[in-house]
Amino acid sequence: MQVVIVGGGNVGYSLTRALLSNKHQVTIIEEKSARCSGLVKDLKAVVINGDGTNLKTLADAEVQNADVLIALTGRDEDNLIACQLAHQHFKVPRTIARVSNPQNKELFKKLGGVNMAVCTTEIISSLVQEEVSLKDIITLLTLKEGKVAIVEKEIGESSPAKDKKIMELALPEECVIISVIRGSQIIFPHGQTTLKVKDKVLALTTAQRKATLQQII
């Protein structure tokens, strides 16, 4: 799958790592040149230094060939414009926008051009309500209206998954480990992969299984 991500901040960076680990092709559009240099160094992705709300920049990123565009900047208006341009001018079949202000979520859907609006405020609120510590498990992205999520958890000294193979973990069917980050190394996990202290585990899971995942790893 060809994915274009607008915004190379922490969320964009982590999502790119997860997508690359699943062998997707990713192009990042980031307006800060210093940030672009770091992305090029750390990730095997195409990085475009430019404004994701600019038609020329989107064309340079070959958005017309993308299966999905994900706008993850910290500005709601920029995320909306990027998605609308991708949908209307480049005919991208699917667009996802990050929303900081919960009131903009429904507005984005009404204005058109955005297939899914992901509200970071609602994600944090959901984590608090679930009594899941932000230090233990981090939700990077929600899909299917919050029913599915990509989460990250670091293996600690007291983690029950420390020094265990993935095949030895009693993972529920609704949970799949998609990547393991060990230092600067991205590991494509399989059943024989052993989890070590300080490994960052990226997993795809349902909202109902996040608490279970936290207990397992």
Q: What is the pLDDT of residue 131?
A: 45
CA distance 178 to 193: 12
Quick one: average pLDDT of 157-162? 92
Report the candidate in 189, 191, 211 with the shortest Cα–Cα distance to residue 201.
189
Domains by residue range for the chain, with CATH: 2-123 (3.40.50.720), 135-216 (3.30.70.1450)
33-81 confidence digits (pLDDT tens): 999 999 999 898 999 999 999 999 999 999 999 999 999 998 999 999 9
Residue 123, classed as helix, strand or coil, is helix
pTM of the model: 0.60
Question: Residues 6 or more apart from 24 whose CB is under 8 A from it?
Answer: 1, 2, 3
Q: What is the pLDDT of residue 133?
A: 45
